[in-house]
Every structure is written in C-alpha cells, then in structure tokens.
Chain A
Amino acid sequence: MHETVATVVENRDLGSGVWLLRLRSAAVCAAQRPGRFVMLGTGEAPESGPPSPILRRPFSIQRVTDDVFEVLYRVVGVGTGCMSEMTPGRPVPVLGPLGNSFTMPQPGERAVLLGGGVGIPPMVALADGLEQSGHAEWRAYLGVSSAADAGCFVGFAEGYAGELDEGRVLRATMDGSLGFEGNVVQAWLRDREAWTVPERVYACGPMPMLRAVAKTCADLGVPAEVSVETMMGCGVGICMGCVIENRSYADGTDAQRAGMSPYDRWLMACTKGPVFGAQAVVLDDGGLLH
C-alpha cells in the first residue's frame, strides 16, 4: 500500500455520466493485482487542512499500462462530480492499491467474467491478468441497461476490440439496444449449454446482479468470487464502516454461531475483501446511498 500523489493523465467523458480517469503513479501500478482498489481524494487538496469532500472515494483499478492506472466512474454525487472536473496535470491523493485480489483459475478451468455497469473494471483487470499469465481460457459477459451506457465497456473495447461480441467478450443490454438482450447471467447460461469445461466465475456489479450470480453458481456447483462495493470511509480497516455480513454467521445455527466470535459477523470489505467467495457473504448493500 502506498500513500502518494498521482497525476491526472486523462479524464475522458464516455457519455451518460460515465468517465474514465487515467492517473500516473509508478508505485501504485507496481503493486496492482486484479481486484484491488484505490482510495482517491476527489476534492481540492489544500496544503493543510481538510479537503472537501472530506472522505476519499474507493475505485477498482481497471487497467495498468506502464506507470499509468485507470479507473472508471459514474458521476453520482459530490465526490464523483469533483472528479469530472479534473484536468491533466492535476495532482490527486491516492491510497493503494488496497484489498485482496481474485483467486486465479486452475489450469484447464474456464474463467467466466461477469461485469455489470461500473462494476466492469475489476473484470478488465482480471482479463488482463489472465492474459499476462498465459491463461487464455476466459469469457467475459458485460451488461448495462442500454446502449447509452456503452461507455462502461471501454476497458474491453480498448483492450479486446477484435473480440467484442464475436470472440471472448459478449455485451448485453437489458433493453436489447446493444448486443444480447437480457442480463449477463442469462447470456452466460445460454452459452454454457454447449460447454463441457470446468468453470470458475468472477463477478462485479450491482448487488441484485451479484445475488443472481451467487444463487446460479450455488445451484450449478460452480465456484465463484464476487467483488463488492460498500460505503467505505478509509479503505485500510480502521473506520470499520464498509462491512458486509458473513454468511456463515448469518445463516449459522446457534451451535455454529457459538463457535464463532460475534466480532466476525460483519467483515470489512476493504481488508477482508473486496473479493469474497460468492457464498461467503450476504450480498445486501445495506441501503447503499450515493
């Protein structure tokens, strides 16, 4: 983990409030692994005194290119609003990379990458990581609500342009305005009917999508990991704000609970995650507000 100041290289408007921010920091890039995230200071950073907004914001690292890393964001509030004003050369306080990373697939396993909306970035990072490790056996299913949100696909569109809808990358929209009509789970289930290889699923997106992924994978007996988003204050395990419920505690019998510490009911997404086994946590966003 590094506490550093990165420099804006590019801040690109992808339409519908979705933006791609590229930042230069050799230290952050050197420590990146697929699934990890950064906490970005989004407001003006005075020489001394509190910034406004005061808390940093968490973002998955989508891609590393040399000493530049990129994050995808949607403008939903004051912090992301400030980010959309950033111009090249602007210094940005960065803490990271933080958190754990995905478990890499076994040789012979097909990695199935399911990404929804601004949850697609960790899937880009994972695809890149798989490519770099020589594990070409992956498929990505990416979903947004409509073609207007196609900016969310930018990571795969730039890294795997020749494979969009024809190769390993399939795009889906709920209204059918681009690619497959339906959600990413439906798109994957359609394709897998013809598959015989063992699979391992990775997913990031809205909680309803992650719940559907977890249930489907449980029914099919397919191992799955999800990357979750929660309200995060610090990113390093000290504010204890970003918790998600431990399923073995939530679903446990009294006898099972008796063998666990109540301290372990709520798991910090920043240090125990953001990647969890899909069956290990209760996929409820706790009324996540932006």
Chain B
Amino acid sequence: MSAPTTPIDPADVDLSVDITGFTLPNPVLLASGTAGYGPELSHAMDMTRLGGFVTKGIAMQPWEGNAPPRIAETSSGMLNAIGLQNVGLASFLEHKTPYLRELRAAGVKVVVNVIGKTVEEYHDVAHGLRGCDAIDALELNISCPNIKEGGIAFGTDCTAAAEATAATVEGADKPVWVKLSPNVSDIASMGVACEQGGAAGLSLINTLIGLAIDLESRRPRLSIGKGGLSGPAIKPVALRMTSEVSRAVSIPVVGMGGIWTARDALEFMVCGASAVQIGTANFVNPRTAEQVVDGMRAWCAAQGIRRVTDIVGTLKLG
C-alpha cells in the first residue's frame, strides 16, 4: 500500500463498499444472531448508521431452540448454544419485513441469514424469499446439522457445502453469501467449494466449538454440552482464516470474529475482508457498530486514505 501520509478531512473519506452487486454505505454490518430481527436494538443505537444488517437465521418452520442454560461467559468471550430459535419463514415475511423495509429506505442493506437441516430446506427458504423487497442478499448458515447425512454439519464437508450453496443459489433471486464454519482443518478449501457452488460472497467466521464446565458439579455449563465460542478470544483465529480464504477465492469476503473497535475491523479489511460484521460486542455495548464506523473514518482521515476499500487485502506477508 502506498498510502499518502498527509491527513485529510474525515468528511472526505469514502466508506462505501461495492459488494456482490450492491453498495454498502459503510463496511459495518451487524452479525446474524446478535441483533435479532432489527427492532430489538433500535432503542439502543441508531440503526440507520449501519452499512448493513444480517437477520437472525430463518428456517422454513419455526424452531424452538435449546433448553437453558444457553450461554456461558468465558475469558474474553462467551459460549452459546441457542439452537437457532427462530420464527420461521412465514412469520418473518409477515412480521419482520416491515421494519427491514424501513432500514432499507434509510440506505442500510439487509441480509437474511438462512438455515436448514436439508439441502431442500435451504432451497425452499431461498425460494420463499423470492420477490421480497425488504432484503438485498442471503447469508447461508452451513453450520446447521445435516439430518440426511446423520447430523454432520454442512459446514465441515466441502461437497455438502457446495451442494447446499448451489441449492440456495438456485432458489434465490438475490446474491447468496455463505457463512463459513471455522471448525475445519482447511477453511480455504471450504471457501473455494462454496465459490464453485455459486456463492456471490463469503462471510467468516462462525463460532468455534468449545466447552465450558462447572468444576464442582463436573457438568457442562450449557444444557447441550458444547457451544459456539465468540468474542475477542477468537479474533486471531478469525483474522488468520479471513486472510487464507480471501487469498483463495475471487469473490468478496466479509470478516468477523471478536471485533470490538475500529482498529479490529480495519485489521480484518487489511486481511482481505471487504466488509465486517459486529457480533458479541452488540450484547455488551449496543453502540459498538456506530463507534466502529466513526473510528474507521477517523483512522482513514488520519492516514490520508480517501477510500476505505483501498486497504482491503493489503496485508504484507513474507
């Protein structure tokens, strides 16, 4: 990167990002499952300042989710096993899209996270979202158990991931992002498989599978045993994977994993992410995303960077 060193006016920094056929006003989105369906956080933050918003996952039918305890705090992070409790497609279309239309009218891009237990369900949810004017893209959650394959996750098998991606793309009339699981030995290959399956973009990382226990009772702290680790504890893993995937594919990558500050977000962009998602931080400080947007603009201005996308993939390796 040959960045000029003369600071510029923050107002002159262009934060917009062209991604998978549309333009985010800035690179900051809220991650699926950490901001509900939108209205929940609107009382605590200015949602119109977001670049984009990713909904809680949507399945064909409502899912009840897991019994409590569903969350456990860990060192610089948390484990969760919510179990994808969601209202289902029909209720989503009827009750959740009016607010999302308002968000879109304010310029915020809306991405619907799609979940399913079979390839057919992914296709059907995507098909059911056809024509919906409240959304800009789909994000495919391939960390769900694949019932037909005996419960293995789509997200840990290249062939299954590619099939799920292809089925979703076939059903959808919007760009499809695939959210990658970090619980694999070679995430770049997973990204390539999803790209070959027709994904327009990739988002990563989902949570890392972990375990928290209560020593005295010698029992897991979550009802189903293991859970997904998120928060600052996973950021180094997420940065490494963002770098590996972005160099292996030619489609845009959206990075996430423990982002708390603008500097965190910018690090993901340097590692190849065109945009970022804020997750666990929303639980702690609902205004994190706004602060990240402000901080990004200030950092770019101080560095004399006119377009934030100029830093994407500028990591100097070797």
Residues of A within 8 A of B (CB): 1, 3, 41, 48-56, 93, 95, 230-231, 233-234, 236-245, 261-263, 265-266, 271, 286-289
Contacts and interface: CB of A to CB of B under 8 A. Distances in A.
Contacts of B214: 289
Given A52-B76, A262-B64, A263-B88, 17 more contacts: A1-B43, A1-B44, A41-B284, A51-B284, A55-B73, A55-B283, A56-B283, A233-B283, A236-B40, A236-B286, A238-B34, A238-B282, A238-B283, A239-B71, A263-B85, A266-B65, A286-B223
B70 A243 contact: yes
A49 B63 contact: no
Nearest to B66: A266
Contacts of B297: none
Contacts of B282: 234, 238
Interface of B: 33-36, 40-41, 43-45, 61-65, 67-73, 76-78, 80, 82, 85-88, 91, 214, 219, 221, 223, 231-232, 258, 260-261, 263, 280-287, 291, 295
A261 B45 CA distance: 30
B76 A238 contact: no
A91 to B, nearest CB: 14
Contacts of A266: 64-65, 67-68, 85
Given A3-B44, A49-B261, A241 B284 contact: no
Contact of A95 (B44, B63, B88, B281): B44
26 contacts: A1-B44, A48-B263, A48-B295, A49-B260, A49-B261, A50-B232, A54-B78, A54-B284, A56-B284, A230-B68, A231-B68, A231-B72, A233-B71, A234-B282, A236-B40, A241-B68, A241-B69, A241-B70, A241-B80, A245-B67, A262-B62, A262-B63, A263-B63, A263-B64, A263-B91, A286-B67
A234 B87 contact: no
B286 A244 contact: no
Contacts of A238: 34-36, 40-41, 282-283
Chain B facing A: main interface SS: loop
B59 to A, nearest CB: 10
A58 to B, nearest CB: 12
- Identify the interface centre among A49, A50, A231: most chain B CB within 10 Å of its CB: A50
A178 B68 CA distance: 36
The 10 closest A-B pairs by CB, nearest first: A241-B71, A286-B68, A234-B283, A262-B64, A263-B62, A265-B64, A261-B62, A48-B261, A237-B40, A241-B70
Given A48-B261, A263-B87, A240 B82 contact: yes
Contact of A289 (B63, B87, B88, B221): B221
Contacts of A53: 73
B131 to A, nearest CB: 24
Contacts of A230: 68
B68 A54 contact: no
Nearest to A41: B284
A3 B231 CA distance: 21
B89 to A, nearest CB: 12
A237 B36 contact: yes
A287 B280 CA distance: 23
Contacts of A52: 76
A177 to B, nearest CB: 27
